[in-house]
Homo-oligomer: A and B are copies of this chain.
Amino acid sequence: MERSGGQATINDVARLAGVSKKTVSRVINRSALLGEETRRRVEQVIAELGYVPNPQARALALRRNFLIALVHDNPNAQTVMNVQQGLLEGVAGSEFELVVRPVRRGSPTMLDDLRAFIERQRPFGVLLMPPVGDLPPVVDLCRALGCRHVRMSAVAGDPASTVASNDREAVRHAVSYLVEQGHRRIGHVAGPDGFLSAAERRAGFEEAVAAAELALPRSWIAQGSYTFESGQEAGERLLDLSPRPTAIFCANDEMAAGLVHAARARGLDVPRDLSVIGFDDTPIAAHLWPPLTTVRWPSISMARTAALKLIGGEQEVEEPSRFLSTLIRRASVAPPPAD
């Protein structure tokens, strides 16, 4: 039932309904002051024509568009997908669409690329995934450009523009759990510099170790880059030590998987000879052998809330801005071997 020339417009509706464009506009926008009879007639015509308002035109007239952008540096596919899902849940039922914009942290042109994107596209708002959102220049850029933004981060910040997880505390709990199991020599595979999450997780680790009054030789902390391979290498360094740690907390699951490989390669059994805890609860954690004890952070609901903060008015900032992670206990942790 469409017009031959393509999509029906507000003019077609107005003409066929015998009213003015403005009246149609009122129907669309659910204006209160409208004759019941008129509204019904217009709605009838809209239905007949299959009329749908043109978002481009709306955007132009309203001087704002209905795009929210996900800016990320793809540390992990599943996490990005979770965030996309959360954002879409947050904007579901609204007229907003999600556009994705990967950037390369470290690229010298990243800031220029981002600026060009924002200036061109003028998204209504952007979500800055870690670690991009932890980069002050990026946040400054958004501010300078007058672009609404919400950061996902491992540390709390301005509630209006931040949704944060409690990585440090969650790691403290995880490491305390190792202590409860009887471990006294606990190592750590840390994440890369530049990641706030890595710093927080390391801080949580050190706090828990200190609280338990355990020794922590410098060599028990090995740095990785959040990749499987770096976890493998860090694991080799850690497992070469003598005495070696009986438990290792890894700053993410990928590195934990690498560590488990390294352990297996030298004939160590997890968890009999070595307990391992990861972070993120990506699918790899549950599918590893043995299934990996790990920390799950609520990426989906964080993203959902971020979307609401982005598109909601000021009032909706009532949403929580701090999200709690939980320890998922699987089979990769056991008491330490008897010496």
SS class, residues of chain A in contact with chain B:
helix
| A 28-59 to B, binary, CB cutoff 8 A, 1 in contact else 0 | 00000000000000000000001011111101
Does B84 contact A100, Cβ atoms closer than 8 Å? yes
Given contacts A50-B119, A88-B102, A102-B85, contact A287 B77 (CB under 8 A): no
Asked if A309 is at the interface (CB within 8 A of a chain B CB), the reply is no
Asked if A142 is at the interface (CB within 8 A of a chain B CB), the reply is no
Does B52 contact A60, Cβ atoms closer than 8 Å? no
Q: Size of chain A's interface in residues, with CB distance under 8 A?
A: 47
Does A122 contact B284, Cβ atoms closer than 8 Å? no
With A and B bound together, what is the CA distance between A292 and B306 in angstroms? Answer: 38
Asked if A98 is at the interface (CB within 8 A of a chain B CB), the reply is yes
Beyond known contacts A98-B100, A99-B100: 11 more, CB 8 A cutoff: A52-B120, A53-B120, A57-B60, A77-B77, A77-B283, A88-B102, A97-B121, A99-B99, A257-B287, A261-B287, A264-B289
A120 to chain B: closest residue by CB: B52
Does B7 contact A55, Cβ atoms closer than 8 Å? no
Does A289 contact B289, Cβ atoms closer than 8 Å? yes
Asked if A220 is at the interface (CB within 8 A of a chain B CB), the reply is no
With A and B bound together, what is the CA distance between A253 and B321 in angstroms? Answer: 37
A146 to chain B: closest residue by CB: B6
- With a CB–CB cut-off of 8 A, which chain B residues contact A116? 52
CB distance from A113 to the nearest CB of B (A): 10
Asked if A78 is at the interface (CB within 8 A of a chain B CB), the reply is yes
Asked if A308 is at the interface (CB within 8 A of a chain B CB), the reply is no
Asked if A176 is at the interface (CB within 8 A of a chain B CB), the reply is no
A257 to chain B: closest residue by CB: B287
- With a CB–CB cut-off of 8 A, which chain B residues contact A264? 289
Asked if A74 is at the interface (CB within 8 A of a chain B CB), the reply is yes
Does A98 contact B99, Cβ atoms closer than 8 Å? yes
| A 218-255 to B, binary, CB cutoff 8 A, 1 in contact else 0 | 00000000001000000000000000000000000010
With A and B bound together, what is the CA distance between A286 and B97 in angstroms? Answer: 35
CB distance from A8 to the nearest CB of B (A): 10
User: A7 is contacted by which of B98, B122, B254, B284 (Cβ under 8 Å)?
Assistant: B122
Given contacts A60-B60, A81-B77, contact A120 B95 (CB under 8 A): yes
Please, could you name 7 A-B residue pairs with CB atoms under 8 Å apart, sorted by A? A85-B102, A95-B120, A98-B100, A99-B99, A261-B289, A283-B284, A284-B287
